[in-house]
Chains A and B, each alone.
Chain A
Amino acid sequence: MEDYEEEEKQEIWSWGAGTEGQLGTGKLQDEYSPQLLHLLLPSSAGPIFMLACGGAHVIALTSGGKVLSWGRGTSGQLGHGDTVNSPHPKPVMLSDSCFITHVSAGWNHSGFVSDKGSLFTCGDGSFGQLGHGNNKSHSSPVKVSYFINKHVEQIACGMRHSLVLLKGSCGDRVYAFGSGKRGQLGVSKGRVNSVNLPEATCRLEDAKIVSIAANGDHSAALSADGNFYTWGRGFNGTSDAFSPRYIPALLCFTEVALGWNHALLLTGDGEAFMLGGNHHGVLTNPNKLLSSVKHLQDSNEANLERVPCLEGKKVVHIAAGSEHSTLITEDGVIKTWGWGEHGQLGLGNTSDQTLPQAVSLGRDVGEEEAAAPKIKVYCGSGFTIVVITSLRRPHQRLFECSNSVVPE
């Protein structure tokens, strides 16, 4: 384990809306271009395994199962035991013996899953989105007792709701709680204002769900055979879905990312698709919007559209903010498009973009590394964070080690 960690080099870049401290730059301002972060993470925690970005906060899960968070904390969503913002990473108040394996950040709430299958939630609970059987908010993670005899695998937090995926291969495995006004809980055929205790999402019993996603008032799930299900607020002005809808496509999907009005999908063949993107990249330009609405108005159903302008390059990873999109191509290029008013596209300006544009980090990624770096991108509502993990070349490692004490 330790040998492995020594060989990894990690770079974290952020850009976009930053007035709540969510960029981790230590400054409370928007950034229009990628900023290299100098996060102070405890060395014992290991490198970052995954990030989760919410309305204006970030949760970092390290490979050592430790969790840190920063950004807006006014509802207790940082899990620091208080209700104040934090511009720098601070540990989430979880027990030392707890090894966390999955995290999610919603608009103003957070979820943490442990290797034992326990779920902990904190932050805004006013719609029941913490799942504790009441509408209270919590400033440090509280175990969700409903799942005490079950094994939770994943958590997905939306604006005012949460989805949970249980481990196993059959039966009810997807649970939901919080606001259900737009059908995002999928727990019944009718309208449910909100529930504050987990309820099974219907119509998914026969599908082997492997991943779940939530953002805004949308919910989605992918099955092991690559089927895509979505429920909640309708895309492109279509009617809300109160139970999961299978979106027929002759494609095998491996990743899904949700915004507030669109969904991004990635196939096993490296193709990216968008659902419901007729506002995408035209929020601040109503003239463009009118023409795109006209274009789509004869179809009642939102259609999957292939993401254009990728020059035949395969896509390896996708992420969605509330109104912006990002993807990573096979050659390590970060592309962004959508709403850009806060610099969330990282293109050095505040313009919207209807087509994917390459983000420059001021150098070629992968130039110094021995092997192609692993690039992961994460989007909060109006901001973006990229984590680049690469293996160091042996000589480079020696050089850098000479400046620090490395135990043999």
Chain B
Amino acid sequence: MSYDDVEIEDMEWNEELQAYTYPCPCGDFFEITKEDLKLGEEIARCPGCSLYITVIYNMEDFAGEPDRKSNKGLDSSKQNSIAVA
């Protein structure tokens, strides 16, 4: 059972962890990386306990960056290949 639903804009980017974080009631932080988000993962876990939250975000916001420029307006006519790092 997800502890809470949290919008990505309410999470904070942690440079050191290279992850978005949100406070966990245990005192630690729920974490999710950009790579996870790119893959469509929506569960952010706390490394210190069993709780997790559901992250609300648009996958498209993370799909392209930072590997290539967005091809907005072209996606209907042209299928974009998925960039793999």
Interface residues of A (CB under 8 A from B): 17, 19-20, 22, 55-56, 72, 107, 126, 159, 181, 260, 283-284, 286, 289, 321-323, 339, 341-342, 380-383
Contacts and interface: CB of A to CB of B under 8 A. Distances in A.
A381 B51 contact: no
B25 to A, nearest CB: 4
A289 B25 contact: no
Contact of B49 (A55, A107, A341): A341
Contacts of A382: 25-27
Nearest to A285: B1
Interface of B: 1, 3, 10, 12, 23, 25-28, 48-51
Chain B interface mostly = loop
A289 B27 contact: no
A323 B25 contact: yes
A381 B26 contact: yes
Chain A interface mostly = loop
B27 A17 contact: yes
Nearest to A57: B27
A107 B10 CA distance: 15
B27 A339 contact: no
18 contacts: A17-B26, A19-B48, A55-B27, A126-B12, A159-B23, A181-B10, A260-B25, A283-B51, A284-B50, A286-B1, A289-B1, A322-B25, A341-B50, A381-B27, A382-B25, A382-B26, A382-B27, A383-B27
Nearest to A193: B9
B25 A381 contact: yes
B8 to A, nearest CB: 13
Contacts of B1: 286, 289
A373 to B, nearest CB: 28
A383 B23 CA distance: 15
Contacts of B48: 17, 19, 342
A342 B23 contact: no
Given A126-B12, A181-B10, A283-B3, A341 B26 contact: yes
Contacts of A283: 3, 51
A56 B1 CA distance: 24
A342 B12 CA distance: 24
A15 to B, nearest CB: 13
Top 5 nearest A-B pairs (CB, nearest first) are: A322-B25, A56-B27, A286-B1, A382-B26, A381-B27
Contacts of A126: 12
B35 to A, nearest CB: 24
B50 A107 contact: no
Nearest to A233: B4
B26 A342 contact: yes
A264 to B, nearest CB: 15
A385 to B, nearest CB: 13
Given A181-B10, A283-B3, A283-B51, A20 B27 contact: yes
A107 B23 contact: yes
A181 B9 CA distance: 11
A129 B17 CA distance: 23
A342 B23 CA distance: 16
Contacts of A339: 25
Contacts of B3: 283
Nearest to A56: B27
A17 B12 CA distance: 23
Contacts of A56: 27-28
A289 B50 CA distance: 16
